[in-house]
């Protein structure tokens, strides 16, 4: 990606990388601050990312109930949450969603009350695209970013990537950059997450940002085997059966997945949705139009027949980890670089348990707006240095350290899919298993860093493989060091909470991965001592 | 995975080519959509939603090419079903967006689970 006179080049105040829920809100917020904004999406802003295929509720709580909601959430965060951040996203969610009314046709209930809490994904993201364009953002679709640019002082000053149409490189100089690249699904084939390969985590780490909460990467969702339809609502009514059609004693609730995983380690698993009441069956196609498609097309009567199910790993999408934000406007440890949505660690608002769709969506729309405001302010404060030479800082997958040679990228991706997906490796964790996974991932990393590169789409694939492997390595290293079970992180060789580990864990490093726990707050330590 | 573009329905508007988040589709000769990078398809069905002619068909299996033909797709009766149930375009009046009921549906499931657990406990009490 050396400088090339043919390379399209743009200048802007704020560059937002990623056009999902967080990225579009970041673009809108930055534009409202008067910044010139470019939003570059790997796919298409409006269909990219996990919101577009879903239908998130939000953490939508009336002001008089917020104190109780925060107290409850803080208790369940197992020492890793921050009530101030929880209160902030509740406030901002409440004032933000009604602003979408020009672009999203909110429903009203039987009493005529407008229903703001949940939005259906395709319509939501179509609305967010229109909202971002109305705010004045320029959107570049099918423009994946491959690396960040910095100035001579190491301040992030833009990005470079490839335009998929014509496979031409591009560069954008920006006063500040927002990474809203989504979570990392570790190539699990999770619905909507094909492009969520952790690119932003790798780009951020190369610029000097660190991560937090990367051990919390093992939230799994059931779906019809062979498909990707991980919509959880109907499964809340499910009954579960083994191959002999004996019903399994698995209580309904939010923690059903480890039970299902144990059953799947023994054999095939089946589901019946025959408890779903008739009135819900009738309305289902208009509640979740995508959920009913596999059944309709494959000729399965989902409400009468049993069907086979498996679990899909949601990685950091409904897990937690990501780039650590260091201030209230979501700046990372790298100056000029901001993070939002699933690309940023959500521990502040979820702690050690999943935020599900609701807290996660509220985090995305809130952190997006803060990152956009922060980036706009940062860009305003920078003196323009015209003609300054920018550094291209991307490494693994872009600039091999030794001779460029053929690397089996699909095999590297398969290593990630297996080490981060297999139930006995990622749900039920052990120190020995995590070490073995880490070694396999280290091998994949060395191979990619030494030899992977390419051109056009090939370069994007090499870079995605590097990002997937990097994110998996941070996750395994963090899980290894957290020698306890806390929230979704479950160590078979260390059950229960260890009060000495009631703090967030940071990770960083590329060739060598380093993790460390933050200082424990006395409050958390004493809470656990009495628990 | 996207399996087929029903050629005689495709009007060549290019919407599916633009909106595909994985850049699977391209414009072929005459401007009609063609499947250019099938293996990259993530089975999100969103191309179908944006196709006003219902010319695209996604098969639910994610890991393999099933080889569905246009005739087989039409025989499922669900070509265009996603766009219809979503109430897009001409279906807006007949298929309204009921997504807002999701919270109440989850609540029903939660209450049914509590009921079932109570019943199980009562039965245990009788048998012991």
Q: Report pLDDT digits (tens) over B39-94.
A: 999 999 999 999 999 999 999 999 999 999 999 999 999 999 999 999 999 999 99
* A130: pLDDT strictly greater than 90: yes
- Is A291 in the same domain as A330? no
CATH number at residue B13: 3.30.70.20
Assess A277–B contact: CB distance below 8 Å, yes or no. Answer: yes
Cα–Cα nearest to A288, from B79, B10, B105, B11: B105
CA distance A132 to A147: 24
Instruction: Calculate ∠ Cα A28-A32-A34, nearest 5°.
Output: 125
Contact B44 A47 (CB under 8 A): yes
Question: How near does any CA of chain B get to the CA of A195, in Å?
Answer: 7
Instruction: Calculate ∠ Cα A261-A264-A268, nearest 5°.
Output: 155
Cα–Cα nearest to B56, from B91, B20, B95: B20
- Is B73 in the same domain as B54? yes
Q: How far is CA B56 from the centre of its chain?
A: 11
Size of interface A-B (CB pairs under 8 A): 149
CA distance A339 to A364: 10
Q: Which helix (H) or strand (E) holds A433?
A: helix A431-451
- Is B57 in the same domain as B43? yes
Q: How far is CA B96 from the centre of its chain?
A: 17
Contact A107 B63 (CB under 8 A): no
Question: How near does any CA of chain A get to the CA of B81, in Å?
Answer: 8
Q: Which two tokens stand for residue A378?
A: 């940062």
- Is A105 in the same domain as A19? yes
Q: How far is CA A446 from the centre of its chain?
A: 25
- Is A337 in the same domain as A301? no
Q: Which helix (H) or strand (E) holds A470?
A: helix A457-481
CA distance A301 to A108: 31
- Is B44 in the same domain as B85? yes
Q: Does any domain span residue A2?
A: no
Contact A253 B113 (CB under 8 A): yes
Q: What is chain B's length?
A: 128
Cα–Cα nearest to A366, from A74, A20, A26, A38: A26
- Is B61 in the same domain as B122? no
- Is B88 in the same domain as B116? no
CB A16 within 8 A of CB A10: no
What ipTM did this prediction achieve? 0.94
CA distance A109 to A101: 16
Domain of A256 in residue numbering reads as 220-313
Q: Give the per-residue pLDDT at A252.
A: 80
CA distance A485 to A180: 30
Strands A337-339 and A168-179: parallel
Q: Give the per-residue pLDDT at A254.
A: 74
- How many separate helices (H) and strands (E) can be counted in chain A? 15, 18
CB B82 within 8 A of CB B45: yes
Chain B residues 37-66 with CB within 8 Å of chain A? 40, 42-46, 49-50, 58-63
CA distance A343 to A204: 10
- Is B44 in the same domain as B105? no
Q: Which two tokens stand for residue A368?
A: 């997006």
Q: Does any domain span residue A518?
A: no
- Is A100 in the same domain as A189? yes
Output the average pLDDT for chain B: 93
DSSP A203: H
CB A45 within 8 A of CB A24: yes
Cα-based distances in Å from A51 to A40, A232, A369? 17, 14, 17
Tell me how many domains chain A contains.
Answer: 3
**What chain B residue is nearest to A43 in terms of C-alpha separation?**
B21
Cα–Cα nearest to A379, from A390, A371, A387: A371
Contact B20 A43 (CB under 8 A): yes
- Is A119 in the same domain as A62? yes
Sequence-ordered list of residues with C-beta below 8 angstroms from that of A406, at least 6 positions apart, any chain: A451
* Average pLDDT for A13-42: 98
Per DSSP, the three-state class of A86 is: helix
- Is A350 in the same domain as A422? no
Q: Does any domain span residue A466?
A: yes
Which residue in A55, A191, A298 is closest to B99 by CB distance? A55
Domain of B64 in residue numbering reads as 2-95
* Average pLDDT for A119-132: 98
- Is A187 in the same domain as A294? no
Output the average pLDDT for chain A: 94
Of A4-13, A186-195, A434-443, minimum mean pLDDT range: A4-13
* Average pLDDT for A246-255: 87
Tell me how many domains chain B contains.
Answer: 2
- Is A40 in the same domain as A133? yes
pTM: 0.96
Cα-based distances in Å from A82 to A37, A69, A85, A523? 31, 13, 6, 12
Q: How many CB atoms lie within 10 A of CB A368?
A: 34
Q: Give the per-residue pLDDT at A251.
A: 83
- Is A170 in the same domain as A291? no
* Cα within 13 Å of Cα(B72), Cβ side: 11
Sequence-ordered list of residues with C-beta below 8 angstroms from that of A495, at least 6 positions apart, any chain: A485
* Average pLDDT for A407-426: 97
Q: Which helix (H) or strand (E) holds A124?
A: helix A121-135
- Is A461 in the same domain as A491? yes
Contact A293 B62 (CB under 8 A): no
Cα-based distances in Å from A84 to A90, A327, A330, A367, A502? 10, 12, 14, 14, 18
Assess B78–A contact: CB distance below 8 Å, yes or no. Answer: yes
- The 10s digit of each residue's pLDDT in A163-201 is 999 999 999 999 999 999 999 999 999 999 999 999 999
Q: Give the per-residue pLDDT at B115.
A: 86
Contact B100 A115 (CB under 8 A): yes
Sequence-ordered list of residues with C-beta below 8 angstroms from that of A105, at least 6 positions apart, any chain: A123, B97
**What chain A residue is nearest to B42 in terms of C-alpha separation?**
A194
CA distance A164 to A144: 8
- Is B39 in the same domain as B90? yes
- The 10s digit of each residue's pLDDT in A317-336 is 999 999 999 999 999 999 99
CA distance A429 to A422: 10
Contact B112 A115 (CB under 8 A): no
Q: In this structure, is the dihedral angle defined by the CA atoms of residues A345, B107, A223 and A251, taken in order, positive or negative?
A: positive
* A263: pLDDT strictly greater than 90: yes
- Is A55 in the same domain as A151? yes
- Is B90 in the same domain as B102? no
CA distance B17 to B23: 7
- Is B77 in the same domain as B57? yes
């Amino acid at each position: 990606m050396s400088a090339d006179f043919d390379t399209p080049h743009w200048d802007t105040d704020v560059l937002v990388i990623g056009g999902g829920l967080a990225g579009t809100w970041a673009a809108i917020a930055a534009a409202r601050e008067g910044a010139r904004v470019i939003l570059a999406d790997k796919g298409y802003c409006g269909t990219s990312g996990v919101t577009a295929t879903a239908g998130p509720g939000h953490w939508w709580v009336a002001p008089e109930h917020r104190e109780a909601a925060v107290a409850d959430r803080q208790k369940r965060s197992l020492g890793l949450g921050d009530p101030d951040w929880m209160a902030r996203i509740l406030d901002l969610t409440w004032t933000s969603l009604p602003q979408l009314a020009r672009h999203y046709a909110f429903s009203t209930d039987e009493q005529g009350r407008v229903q703001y809490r949940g939005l259906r994904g395709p319509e939501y993201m179509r609305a967010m695209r229109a909202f971002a364009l109305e705010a004045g953002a320029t959107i570049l679709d099918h423009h994946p970013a491959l690396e960040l640019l910095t100035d001579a002082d190491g301040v992030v000053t833009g990005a470079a990537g490839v335009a998929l149409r014509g496979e031409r490189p591009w560069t954008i100089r920006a006063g500040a950059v927002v990474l809203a690249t989504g979570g990392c699904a570790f190539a699990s084939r999770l619905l909507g997450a094909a492009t969520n390969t952790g690119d932003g985590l790798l780009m951020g780490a190369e610029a000097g940002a660190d991560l937090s909460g990367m051990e919390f990467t093992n939230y799994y969702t059931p779906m019809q085997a062979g498909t990707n339809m991980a919509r959880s609502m109907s499964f809340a009514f499910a009954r579960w059966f083994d191959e002999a059609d004996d019903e399994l004693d698995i209580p309904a609730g939010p923690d059903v997945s480890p039970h299902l995983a144990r059953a799947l380690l023994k054999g095939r698993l089946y589901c019946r949705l025959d408890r779903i009441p008739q009135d819900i069956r009738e309305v289902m196609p208009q509640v979740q139009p995508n959920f009913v498609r596999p059944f309709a097309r494959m000729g399965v009567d989902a409400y009468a027949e049993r069907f086979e199910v498996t679990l899909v790993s949601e990685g950091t999408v409904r897990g937690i980890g990501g780039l650590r934000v260091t201030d209230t406007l979501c700046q990372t440890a790298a100056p000029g670089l901001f993070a939002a949505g699933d690309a940023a660690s959500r521990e502040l608002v979820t702690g050690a348990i999943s935020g599900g769709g609701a807290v996660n969506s509220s985090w995305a729309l809130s952190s997006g707006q803060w990152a956009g405001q922060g980036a706009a302010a940062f860009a305003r404060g920078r003196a323009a240095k015209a003609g300054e030479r920018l550094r291209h800082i991307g490494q693994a997958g872009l600039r091999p350290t030794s001779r460029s040679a053929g690397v089996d990228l699909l095999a590297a991706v398969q290593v990630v899919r297996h080490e981060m997906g297999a139930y006995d490796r990622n749900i039920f964790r052990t120190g020995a298993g995590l070490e073995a996974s880490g070694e396999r991932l280290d091998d994949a990393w060395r191979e990619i860093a030494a030899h992977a590169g390419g051109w056009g789409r090939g370069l994007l694939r090499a870079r995605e493989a590097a990002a997937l492997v990097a994110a998996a390595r941070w996750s395994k290293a963090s899980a290894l060091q957290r020698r306890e079970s806390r929230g979704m992180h479950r160590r078979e060789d260390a059950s229960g909470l260890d009060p000495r580990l009631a703090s967030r864990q940071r990770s960083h490093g590329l060739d060598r991965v380093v993790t460390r726990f933050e200082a424990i707050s006395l409050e958390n330590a004493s809470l656990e001592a009495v628990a | 995975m996207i399996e087929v573009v029903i050629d005689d329905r495709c009007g060549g508007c290019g919407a599916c080519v633009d909106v595909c988040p994985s850049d699977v589709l391209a414009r072929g000769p005459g401007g009609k959509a063609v499947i250019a990078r099938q293996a990259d398809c993530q089975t999100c069905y969103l191309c179908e939603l944006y196709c006003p002619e219902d010319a695209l068909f996604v098969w639910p299996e994610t890991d393999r090419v099933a080889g569905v033909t246009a005739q087989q797709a039409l025989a499922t009766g669900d070509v265009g079903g996603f766009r219809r149930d979503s109430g897009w375009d001409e279906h807006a009046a007949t298929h309204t967006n009921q997504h807002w009921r999701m919270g109440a549906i989850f609540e029903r499931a939660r209450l049914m689970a509590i009921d079932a657990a109570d019943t199980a406990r009562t039965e245990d009490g009788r048998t012991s």
